[in-house]
Amino acid sequence: MELIKIFNNFLSIAAIIVAVFYSINFSKSGKAYKVFSCYLIFIAGIQILLVVYSFYKENNLFLFNYYFIGQFLFMSLFYFYLLKKRWIWKLTGIVMLGLLLQYIFSPTSFINYNIIGVSITQSVIVVYALLYYYRSLSGEAKFLYVNTGVFFYFISSILFFSALNLISKLQMPKETHLYVGLVNDFLYFTYLVLIFIEWYKNFRFKKI
């Protein structure tokens, strides 16, 4: 139990550290790098807020909505700069419109885990990552580690996030919740490690 909590806190700190690393070369870098750095800062911010809210025993579920919507917007922009396809904007617009309609017609989804929203946005990001993999076959490509992380984490965690509502409604001991969450924690840890490797190998010293 304690170990899992420590691991959780470690992940929050790791997310902040990775964001700091990426911020070092922010001004000297390209657009895709800047967007990705912003995404990491955003994620780190959400992590901090989650910790603060849980410290004061406040309900932090609404943050989950900000998390996946922000993540979707940043990732769309990131892949727009990598793939250079205009239809990404159209798709982002359509998904955002869908989410807006969902929140208008079912306001309760804002205070629950919005599993439809998170599944759709993550699936779209997985499609971008897959397309970028395809693009990378024909030549040199930047952000391949990040892309691997995005593809791996987003595809693997779709089921976990989709099952969140179900899991939270089950009459289970709190420990079981934490153990299930541990699977996602490990996936997230792998994701962070890949992001760190990308920075360490390609962006540590170089101008981008």
Partner 1 sequence: MQNNLAEEIQIIPIILIGICLLILMSAAIILFFYLSRKKIVQTELEKATLKIQHQKEMLQTSLLTQEAERKRIAQDLHDDISSKLNIVSLNASLVQEENISVQEANALGSKIVEITTTVLESSRRIAHDLLPPSLDKFGLTAALEELCDQVEASRKFEVFTSFSYEEEILPKDQELHIFRIVQELINNTVKYADAKTVSLSLKSTQNTVHLHYKDDGNGFELATGKLAKGLGLGGIENRAAIIGAKVTLESQPQNGMSLDLVKQRN
- Interface with partner 1 (CB under 8 A): 130, 133-134, 136-138, 148, 151-152, 155-160, 163, 166-167, 170-172, 176, 180, 183, 187
Contact 197, 14 (CB under 8 A): no
* The pair of three-digit structure tokens given for residue 28, joined into one six-digit string: 């000297």
CA angle 87, 160, 148 (to 5 degrees): 50
Query: What is the length of the chain?
Result: 208
Q: Closest approach of Cβ 20 to partner 1, in Å?
A: 27
Give the nearer residue to partner 1 in terms of CB position, either 112 or 162. Answer: 162
* The pair of three-digit structure tokens given for residue 81, joined into one six-digit string: 């700069």
Q: DSSP letter string over 176-192?
A: HHHHHHHHHHHHHHHHH
Rounded CA separation 184/135 (Å) = 29
Give the nearer residue to partner 1 in terms of CB position, either 23 or 157. Answer: 157
Rounded CA separation 142/87 (Å) = 21
Q: Closest approach of Cβ 125 to partner 1, in Å?
A: 13
CA end-to-end span of the chain, whole Å?
Answer: 43
Give the nearer residue to partner 1 in terms of CB position, either 136 or 202. Answer: 136
Q: Closest approach of Cβ 160 to partner 1, in Å?
A: 6
Give the nearer residue to partner 1 in terms of CB position, either 99 or 195. Answer: 195
The secondary structure of residue 203, as a DSSP letter, is I
Q: Closest approach of Cβ 55 to partner 1, in Å?
A: 28
Residues 6+ away with beta carbon under 8 Å from 188: 11, 153, 157
Give the nearer residue to partner 1 in terms of CB position, either 28 or 177. Answer: 177
Give the nearer residue to partner 1 in terms of CB position, either 103 or 160. Answer: 160
Q: Closest approach of Cβ 149 to partner 1, in Å?
A: 10
Taking each helix axis as running N to C, give the angle between helix 31-55 and helix 2-24, from 0 to 180 degrees, rounded to the nearest 10. 150
Q: Closest approach of Cβ 52 to partner 1, in Å?
A: 29
